[in-house]
A and B are shown apart, each in its own frame.
Chain A
Amino acid sequence: LAKTTQPISMDSYEGQEVNITCSHNNIATNDYITWYQQFPSQGPRFIIQGYKTKVTNEVASLFIPADRKSSTLSLPRVSLSDTAVYYCLVGDGRLAGANNLFFGTGTRLTVIP
């Protein structure tokens, strides 16, 4: 299983763009990169997933360089409600079953007014 490394915490002012980078040096060919968001006392919520290059949805963008050894979650113009823990996961797309969904320590993002 590919191990992920993220910053423990980040602070940002409201309205700024936030980029959270995740390192996954031993990512395998069939691995997908997924980001989840978790608010206090709630279950994680899926944000975005990608395999290579760039993926964008209504919430965020995910940038994955050609070597795929890292990925960057980009949150445009954050608001106070984006204060949460963000988890980067790497899992084998061939495997059925959630045993490959291992959450690391996550990045605690605090948005400051």
Chain B
Amino acid sequence: KAGVTQTPRYLIKTRGQQVTLSCSPISGHRSVSWYQQTPGQGLQFLFEYFSETQRNKGNFPGRFSGRQFSNSRSEMNVSTLELGDSALYLCASSLEGGRVQETQYFGPGTRLLVL
């Protein structure tokens, strides 16, 4: 079974631009979560989608948004990029409800550099 895939793997943008990242979960997984990882703040939860609905949201500004499609694939969008948005963006999928007892499977991440 293929793992979680994320595209693109690397991205360079300039301040003020917007970016869209894509995540394909493991086949059959319905919950997709997004995380931001930076050296200073560590791994931080952005949001989680389940059955095309955002179920949970972390503490990030409205510039960060996402969506999930009927095939469970998910995209996240960051508008008006700032230098501080440079980070590794990780997507994780789990089978059903994303309960802590369920294993989260992470993708390799998209490394975004904002200049």
Question: Across the interface, do A96 and B101 meet the contact criterion of CB distance under 8 Å?
Answer: no
Decide yes or no: A98 and B56 within 8 Å by CB, A91-B100, A92-B100 being known contacts.
Answer: yes
* Residue on A nearest B90 in the bound complex, by CB: A43
* Residue on A nearest B31 in the bound complex, by CB: A98
CA distance A44 to B90 in the complex (A): 9
Decide yes or no: A42 and B101 within 8 Å by CB, A97-B48, A98-B45, A98-B92 being known contacts.
Answer: no
Question: Across the interface, do B56 and A97 meet the contact criterion of CB distance under 8 Å?
Answer: yes
Question: Across the interface, do B99 and A95 meet the contact criterion of CB distance under 8 Å?
Answer: yes
Query: 1/0 per residue B39-65: CB within 8 Å of A?
Result: 000111100101000011110000000
CB-CB < 8 A to B109: which residues of A? 41-43
Question: Across the interface, do A99 and B101 meet the contact criterion of CB distance under 8 Å?
Answer: no
Judged by DSSP, the binding face of B is strand
Decide yes or no: A95 and B88 within 8 Å by CB, A41-B111, A43-B107 being known contacts.
Answer: no
Question: Across the interface, do A105 and B104 meet the contact criterion of CB distance under 8 Å?
Answer: no
Question: Across the interface, do A99 and B43 meet the contact criterion of CB distance under 8 Å?
Answer: no
Q: In residues 59-113 of chain A, which contact B (Cβ within 8 Å)?
A: 87, 89, 91-106
Query: 1/0 per residue A35-53: CB within 8 Å of B?
Result: 0000001111110010000
Query: 1/0 per residue B12-25: CB within 8 Å of A?
Result: 00000000000000
A97 partner, pick from B92, B97, B106, beta carbons under 8 A: B97
Which one of B91, B104, B111 has the greatest number of beta carbons of chain A within 10 Å? B104
CA distance A43 to B31 in the complex (A): 16
A: residues with CB less than 8 A from B are 31-32, 34, 41-46, 49, 87, 89, 91-106
B: residues with CB less than 8 A from A are 4, 31, 33, 35, 42-45, 48, 50, 55-58, 88, 90-92, 94, 97-101, 103-109, 111
Extra inter-chain contacts (12) besides given A43-B4, A98-B33, A103-B43, CB under 8 Å: A43-B106, A43-B107, A44-B43, A45-B106, A46-B104, A93-B101, A97-B31, A97-B99, A98-B31, A98-B45, A98-B48, A105-B42
Q: Would you list 11 pairs from A and B whose C-beta atoms are within 8 A, ordered by A residue?
A: A41-B111, A43-B90, A43-B92, A87-B43, A96-B99, A97-B98, A98-B98, A99-B45, A99-B48, A101-B33, A101-B104
